[in-house]
Structures are given as C-alpha cells and as structure tokens.
Chain A
Amino acid sequence: MSGLDPFVVEVIRHGLSAAAEEMSLVMTRSARSPLLREAGDLSSAITDAEGGLAGQGKDIPIHMGAMAYAIPELLKLKPLAAMREGDALIFNIGKLGGNHLNDVKVARPVFVDGRVVAWAISLAHWPDVGGTWPGSYLVNAVDSFQEAIRIPPVLLATAEGVQRGVMDMILSNVRDPVACEGDMLAQLASTRAAEKRIREMCAQYGTETFLAALKRLHDLSEAEMREAIRDLPDGVYEGEDFLDEGGPDGAPARIHVRIEIKGDEALFDLSGSCDRVANFCNMTPYIARSAVAYGARVLSGRDMQQNAGALRPLTIITRPGSILEPGFDAPVAAGNHETSMRIVDAMFKAMEGVIPERLTAGGAATSGLLNFCEPRKGLPWRMLYEVHGGGEGARIDRDGVSATRVLLTNTSNTPTEMIETNYAIRVERQAIRRGSGGAGAHRGGDGVVRRYRILAPEMWLTACLERSKVPPFGLQGGEPGLPFRLTLLRDGVETQLDGKLNMLLRQDDVLTLESAGGGGYGVAH
C-alpha cells in the first residue's frame, strides 16, 4: 500500500467533504438572492492544485461535473506560478469549464508554505447577469454576447481585499446590484472557509501526506469505476433522445450516444448529435462530459467518491460544430440543464437491453423553469426564478415518485407564502397533476400543477421547459408520461404557450404550468 496509511486517506476524505459542505452552508445562510438561499442553486468544490476534483458538497450534479474542468482550463490561461496568496478569481465564460453565464464561479488557490496545494471553488447561479432579457435567458439568442456579461478570469480579491474596480464593473452590468454584491461577498467568504480547513488538514497530517491522500482518493475512485465497467458485457450500445425543438423546421433536435465498453474502459461518442441549434439549447463540451460522468456514475450502481479519478476510464468525444461543441460564441443558457439531461436519457436508452434493472424510466428531466422579472423604475428588478419538479420514472421494483427533481438538477421550489410576501404574484393553485404518470407494471410518478396570477402592471417572463413535446419515455413496455403544458388565461381566453419563450405578461394574466409525469416500467397488467 506504498506507505500511505489507508485510514488517513479516509480521514482526509471526510475532511474534504466537510469543508465543501461548510462552503455551501456559508452560501445558503448568508447569500441574498432567493435563488441561492431558498432554492439552493449553488455548488461547492475542492480540487487539487492541478484542478482535479477532490471533494464536493451535496449540491447540484451538473455543476459538480463541470467544475472538474474549471481549474485545468484556467491554468492554461494563467499559470499556477502567477497566483498569489489571498487571490480569488471570478469568471463565468464557457472556455473555463463553463456551463452557462449565469453560473458564476469564485475560485481561490489555497496556499500552504508558499505553494498552492488545492483550490476552493464556489459556484452560484446568479438570478441575472445582464444581457438582452432580464434573467439572462434569451430563448432565440443569436450568440453568447446577447445573453449576458462575459467575465474572463479576473481577480475579485487579493491579499489587500476586494478589488472594488472589478466588483463595480460587474455590478454595473446586472439588474439587481444590491443582492449581487452580497452574493459575491458570500462566495468569497465560502472559499475562505474551505481555505482554513485545508490548511488545518495540512498542519495536522503534513502537506505531503495531504497531497498524497488526494492522489490516492483519485486512484480509489478510478479503480471503483474500472471495476464497474468491467462488470458490463463488452460491446457497442447506441441510444438517442430528442430535445423538443431546434431541429430543421422546428422538429425535435437529436442527441445521440454510441457507447463502447471494452474491458475496464468506456468510450462515449456523442458525434452523432445534431449541429449547433439557433436557440439557447447549445452547450459547452464540458457540460457534455459532466452529463456523461453523471450517467456513468449512476449506471455503475456503486457508491464512490465523485472525483477526477472516476473520469479517467471514460473517453468522451464531441464533434466541433455540433450542439455539444458549438464554439465559444454560441448561446448556451438552457443547454446547461436541458440538453445535458437528454444525454443522460440517451445513455439510459442505450443500456436498456443490457442493464434494465438498474434504469429508471424517463422523468420530468428539465429545469422546469419559469422566470418572472418585475421592472421597478429606478430600483433593482425583482426576479423570481422558479423551477418545477415533476414525476420520476418508474423502476423495475417500484412506482415513480410524484413531484420531485430527477437526474442532474436538485433545486427546490419557493414556498407560496414566500412568493406572495416578496413578489407581485399570487399562487392560486399548487397540486399534484393526478394521472400524469405513464402506465406500466409500475407507474410513473405524477407531475405538479401551479397557477400564478400576475399582480404587477408588467412582468417579463421566461419559460424554459423540456419534455413539453417529447414526453418522458417508458421502459420495457411502459407508457410515456404526460408532457409539460403551459397555458395563459388573458381576458377570458386560454392559449397554450410554447415551452420555451420570452414574453411580457400584464396584470391579471393567469399562467398555469402542468409538469410532466414519469414514464412507466414494464407492460401494464
């Protein structure tokens, strides 16, 4: 066992998880934006000096996967030697392992005895990062520049303190600078908390032991992942899934995966996916890798530390010019949480003939987002970023659960009583959408219904729903669940709306969202 005490490795693993959990706690307890403090749309990670993911909190899977690439890409632009103790960098551009511009990262190199031993990264979904549309989700954006402010890696703080010029530059470009400043301070505080813990561990076990333990943790996860892959029969498996729109003439857009299992390695070739689309459902290749890493982890059916080592046996290929590698200028706001889920669903379908007992049928795998933004002349915008869960797909041995989050997302709803206290909106109904789960030997879970009445003179709405045309799939003969449905009642007339849109609502408009039910599993008796 090469001299490193296996128990110290485990103790350090606990220490890393505790430090990442502490980061998230600082965020949820001290951030300003409801999206962070109520919905918890944030993640915390600790990496080794080179950026290999080492520890994480119980946060959002899609964030975590992408953070594995943030520091390695950063170091291509700014070498480790250029970092100074006390530095904290802020960035959101796609090139740095980015997911979408709303997810802003603050990264702090952790120094011990003058050298970097680790990084602490706080990722937070900012409710607005400027750009054309409040909330920064522009459905038919032509390019990234229309979406939001693009922040390259710049110093937000140094040993001397917060860099006011940088902070003001950012605050001048967002629609709620007051909350945004508090959120940024919270992100800085959370990385400082991790720095303290990492230094304590280095002091207690010795820096060399700490570094060796990080390497060992990566090796252990790699071994576990290799073992999981070896359990699968060698072969080539293909699966596809579709986004509601984006294809030619508004047809569904195809996501395709070809999985090649060979011994203890797996190749995921996503080249067969469609070309770059003319809306915000493109995504960065890092998110494609993050989605595959998540899919591989859940399909392994094993409990392992999700770190850089677990990625080593996986080869992931995306095609330049495709929806999954569209170029730095492509709009990607929704691809982050919508297209990524289609990759996981395509992987599930590919494996249906091999490990059906490990799979869950399709569910409400989308952010289910409605973003309500109220302009207030001369004051910051008031923004409610509200996500909607739905039905979980059924499994071989149980029905799907109703009203939950599935796969890559894990954000919460905002309580009706908090919405009505803080926004010019009344929630008129909040119920289970009975009967929306697909039939089967086991039934899919049901979606939800939520009805909003607008009380302000003007409300800028963004909707971002997948599974509103292509329903959640059944498995092994199970029926699909009902798709999402969004309707507007205005002046007594009810209209069905597109699942993805930007529009202006006015006073007394009533918007009803019905979320998707999960797919069934097995043929219904």
Chain B
Amino acid sequence: MKDTPLQTRLWDIGTDIGGTFTDILAVHTETGATRIAKVPSRPDAPVRAMLEAIAAVGLAEPDVRRFIHGTTRVTNALVEGRLPKVALIATEGFEDVLEIGRYRRTELYRLDVPPKAPPLVPPALCFGLRERLDHTGAVLQPLTEAEIARCVEWVKASGAKSVGICLLHAYANPVHEKQLMEALAPHVPHLCVSHEVNPEAREYERASSTAFNAAAMPVAVDYLTELEEKLPLGPGLQVFHSAGAMVPVPAVKRRPLVMAMSGPAAGVSASARIARTLNRPRVLTFDMGGTTTDVCLIVDGVAEMTDTRMMGGRPLRQPMLAVHSIGAGGGSIVKLGSGGLSVGPESAGSEPGPACYGRGGTRPTITDANAVLGYLDPEAKLGDTIQLDVAAARAVIAPIAEKLGLPIEDTALGIIRVANAAMARALRRVTVERGVDGRDCTLLAFGGGGPMHAVGLADLYGLNEIIVPAASSAFSALGCLTADFSVLQQRTIRMPLDGFPAEAFAARVAEMEAEASEPLIANGIPAAEIGMEHTALMRYDAQSDAIPVPFAMPLDPDALRTAFHARHQELFGYATAEPVVIESLRIQARRPSSTPVARPDVGRPAKPERMRECVFQQGRLLTPILPRETLTGTVAGPAIIEDAWSTVIVPPGWRARDDDIGNLFLTRSDA
C-alpha cells in the first residue's frame, strides 16, 4: 500500500462469496458511483474468484482502497465436514464432552435418522488433562509442570494441525487454559482457548464452539494469508463478521468463528442501514435463496442479536445477528402425500436444480411453480447458461394437479401459498422472540426469491409495506460496504441488582470497553470517533434465559430494573417482584461507515418494456414486464419489474413506486 500513491485508490469494494455466485459491488469514494457484477464462485480457488470479480467491475488491485468481504467459506467447510485434523483438550474425566452433548434429538418420530451428529473431534483426538477448578474459579487440583509436559508430548504425537482447549469452569478463571496455551504454542500451528472463544458457563456448548473455532483456523488462516498477499491493503482489507460489522483480518485469524454467519449477516446489516435511513421502526428481512431462507428482525434500526445457533447439528455460541434460517427456498421439493401437501426441506440443490432449469430435475420445486405462473422470463438465461423450460415445469406439477383435481395453474398458486406459509412461520418465530407484533413491520425483500414471494407473504402475514432495496440481488455485498466498523465483547458477570456492586460493575464495563475498542484503534480509528453500546443480559434469579436490556453509563440500577420488568411483561405477559440478576454484559464498540452509495449501475442495457401472460389469484392476466432501471413514478399491479438478476412481482391490488436511489416500495392499492 505504501508504494502506491493514495489518490489512485478511489474505490471501496464489498463482495459476498456464496456457494454458487460471488456478488461484487464497488463504490467510488468521491463520486459515489456504483458498479455491480456477479461472477461464478470458485470453491477451489476463492482468492482468484475475488480478483476476477474485481476485474468484472472494471477495476484492479491498485484502484482499491477498502475491500470488505463476507464469505460462507468457513461455514461450508465446517458443515460439510472437510476439516483438518483437530484435537480437543478437556479436563480429565470430561474428555467425551463433545460425544455426550445434551442428549436431545430433533426427530421424535423417525428412527431411521441418527438422533444426533457425531462429535466434531473423534474420541482418539480428545485428551483428558489432570486439573480442576470449581464454579467460583478456585483451584481444586493444580495443573502441574509434569502434566503440561505429558500433554505437550501427546499433542506432538497426535499429528493434530489445530488444538482447542476447553477446561471446566475456565470462564470463571482462565489460569490453566493460559498456562497450557503458552506451553503448547511452539508445538502446534493453530491453537485456541475456550475462555476467549466463548467465556460462558455450560461446558458442552463452550467446548463445541471452541472445537469449531479450532477446526476453522487452518482453513481461514491459509485463505486470509493468500488474500493479504494478493490484496495488500493493510487495514483496508476487512472481513464481515456474524455480529453484523467489519473486523480487520488479523483479529479474524485468531477467531475465524466470527465469520460463521458472515454472508447472511451482511444482508441484514445493509437492511438495518436502510431501516435507519428510511425511518422504518420495525423491519423484517426476507432473504430467500435456492435452498434456504433467512429472516431477521430489525427494531429501531438495530438488528436483533442471538447467542446460539446450531451448525450441522452442533451448537455454536457467540454473539451473532439473530438470523433465523429455514430449509425452504426456490429449489425446495413439493410433495403430495395422503397427509397433505408439503414443501421442503428436501431440495433439488443446484444440481440438477428445478425441472424448469432443464438440467435433469424431475421433481417439482417452488421455482417450477413460479415458472408455470409466468413469473420467470422464458427468454432469460440464468447465470448465462440455463435456458428456462416452462414445459418441463408444467410436466412435474401436472401429477399433483391431477391428484388434487385442480388445473395446473391453481395448483402452482397453491404451492406458492404453502411455501409462503413456511416462510410466515419463520417470520413469526423471530417476532415472537422479541415480543413484537409482526404485522406492524415493513418487509425488506432481497435474494433471488425474496422479491418474487414478498407480496404473497405480506398478504398471508398481514404486512402492509414491502421494500425491495436497490441492488437487491447483490445486497449482502452492499451490506459489507455500508456496515459499521465494530467489535463486540460479551462476558458472564452474574451481578444481582439488590445490593448492586456499582464499583465492580463500572470497572468491568471500562475493562470491556477497552478490549472492544482496541482492535479499532489498532486499525487507525481515532478513539474519539468510537461509540459504545451497552447491553445487560438480565433474568429473574431463578430463570436461565437472559433478556437483553440496553443501558447507558453511569448505570442507574433502579431504572434498569424497571426496564427489565417492562421487557419481561412485553415478552411473556407477566412480571414479578423476584430478585433480578445481570447474567452477562455485552459491549459493542462502533464507528459508522462513511461509504456513500448511489443508484447502482448494473452494467447491462435495460430490456424494453414487454407484455406476458401471468397467473395470479385473480386469474390469467396480460402483464407488463418493466425494466427496473428505467422505472419512474407509480406502477399499478399486475406488473413484473425485472433487473438483470431479480424479479419483483406486483400482483393486482398492489402498486409499486421507486425513490431516487432505486429502492422499490410496494403497498396495497387501496391503502
């Protein structure tokens, strides 16, 4: 970076590297000019794909000032089990912690599927260390030098490329984990400790998170190091993390787990920014892809957070955006049994894909139903290779229609409604968790299928407004660019509000604020520009689940108690006079993004307006197909609004208008 004059680096780039496509969005830092492209991903050469993406928007490395990317690379490696040799070190007597888990199975009525996933680390690579703490952090059995030596020898002999250390009660006192880490560091390429990855009680969840992190380290470090060589941008090279912000590369190398939900989090983060800009207090994001649909709730411009998610049947604990995923997307297979009609979770995937892709798919999918209804452009070439085959779609839907005694079109409409019901259930889930009425929300639709299904979903769920954002098809890439620079810390503190230890609390907050801002300051951000957000995770003494309640420093415990009671009432419909505890503290250091974004140029000529027959609940209607790029004023449904990569359906009874930066607003015509 030093040998290139700074003024030539005038572009900020966001990319979202998905399983099939890499989306890229470049913004000129002075003019705000925006370029978008989509190139095929290369799972075997991800860095090369990124350089190709940069070329696809007409730029090269010396043009780039900041490069922020979200990637599913780490997640995919973990879920697909393509893992390096990982070892786990646990307290002796507890080395089977991963295999035991929590016993609970997900399929109650199926015997054929295994009740739970096998352990991430096989028994032969789990080591029991002689040491023991109690829950207060007091040492019951010291860790001796001889024991450390025994462990070092075992690790050397094991051939492990990466080691995770998770000792009992290390969240209360990390002394033994630190001692062992120091001793092992010279002998193993990658190493991580549970009190850094997930400093919270519950040994299985902490060990699972630590093992995930250890497994991700070799994959992530190789990849990030290659990226640093090819794109030597220094602090300008950043990664999008699961909690919805950017982190510099060196921090990610230590904790690659923060990339686990990188891609979906970027889309949500861009949504949060739109919610703030457009002043929408309650927003539901709706990102429908080929095999999954992700939804998330945004309240007052801030996306909801969660602590846990399951990945490949194993728990992962860290603060993350509360993106709820369901296994239904465009490729989900539709089945009619005597028990009724169902959609997913089985998917046609990208190979062979839906029948209408003409690549050998023989089972009906949601996308086939959309094709039958005329919503997809029969002349379009998807990803420049797939020619839409409507006849094939009709052929796979026909048997279901026959069995139901309905016309094919009515059956396709019904399939879409059932698919939307599954989506509505996901929306319900995220709103219920926060205690808000979903019907007051604005639906923000993006991803391949989001804008296509948005109105049907809104009708089913009683929503009144839909926004299809500009750049909706490369929305996660946009999220990378517009996200704040931020680092989040969370720790268990367990302080009662009765007899509140104010001094100890203030000291803890100051300590965590320093930890959270340190990586930002190290990246050249002035301390004065960093804002702090404080959240207390609170519960009644006898409960275990804690509710997030924001607060300001200096803390007023009585105000906090009142706020907690109000939130509990809002969530569960009652509050009591029981003692209240602050279980954990969450501190987020944040510096807002300064990248301006203008109306994107998709780099392809707009197609002229055409007409096509489409089927809606109201029947078969001749429908104008409008290019999104040239849209002006208000359009009444029926209409289909298309850009190069996405399709927005405006059924009769709805209308659409756009604003000057290209967002589309859909509302009911009678509203």
Contact = CB atoms under 8 A, between A and B. Distances in A.
A416 B94 contact: yes
B180 to A, nearest CB: 19
A6 B341 contact: yes
A421 B421 contact: no
B115 A405 contact: yes
A232 B110 CA distance: 18
Nearest to A8: B417
Contacts of A404: 103, 105, 115-116
A30 B572 contact: yes
A403 to B, nearest CB: 5
A104 interface: no
Interface string A415-430: 1111011000010111
A224 B108 contact: no
Interface stretch (B58-66, B200-208, B441-449): B200-208
B95 interface: yes
A165 interface: no
Main secondary structure of the interface of A (DSSP, over half): helix
Interface string A346-363: 000000000000111000
Given A10-B342, A416-B203, A30 B424 contact: no
A490 interface: no
A221 B339 contact: yes
Interface stretch (A294-302, A321-329, A334-342): A294-302
Contact of A25 (B104, B202, B433): B433
Given A403-B99, A430-B93, A418 B201 contact: yes
Contacts of B341: 6-7, 10
Contacts of A411: 103-104
Contacts of A7: 341, 413-415, 417-418
Interface in A223-282: 223-224, 227
B168 A395 contact: no
Interface in B522-579: 540, 542-545, 568, 571-574, 576, 578
Contacts, number: 206
B340 A220 contact: yes
Interface residue range, chain B: 35 or more
Interface in B78-105: 93-97, 99-105
Interface string A9-31: 11101110110011001101111
Contact of B542 (A15, A182, A305, A402): A182
B342 to A, nearest CB: 7
Contacts of B204: 415
Interface string B102-118: 11111011111011100
A30 B568 contact: yes
Interface stretch (A34-42, A136-144, A370-378): A34-42
Contacts of A115: none
A418 B413 CA distance: 50
Interface in B438-463: 460, 462
A306 B109 CA distance: 9
A390 B109 CA distance: 18
A1 B108 contact: no
A392 interface: yes
Contacts of B342: 10, 303
Contacts of A451: 93
A25 B93 contact: no
Given A58-B108, A404-B116, A420-B135, A413 B103 contact: yes
B38 interface: no
A417 B135 contact: yes
Given A32-B543, A34-B544, A405-B104, A14 B421 contact: yes
Contact of B338 (A217, A224, A413): A224
A403 B169 CA distance: 23
A22 B545 CA distance: 15
Contacts of B574: 185, 188-189
13 contacts: A7-B418, A11-B417, A14-B418, A18-B425, A28-B545, A32-B543, A182-B542, A182-B576, A303-B109, A303-B339, A402-B99, A405-B105, A406-B115
Closest 4 CB pairs of A and B: A7-B414, A389-B103, A32-B542, A429-B93
Interface of A: 1, 5-11, 13-15, 17-18, 21-22, 25-26, 28-34, 37-38, 40, 58, 61, 178-179, 181-182, 185-186, 188-189, 192-193, 204, 217, 220-221, 223-224, 227, 294, 297-298, 301-306, 358-360, 387, 389, 392, 395, 398, 401-406, 410-413, 415-418, 420-421, 426, 428-432, 448, 451
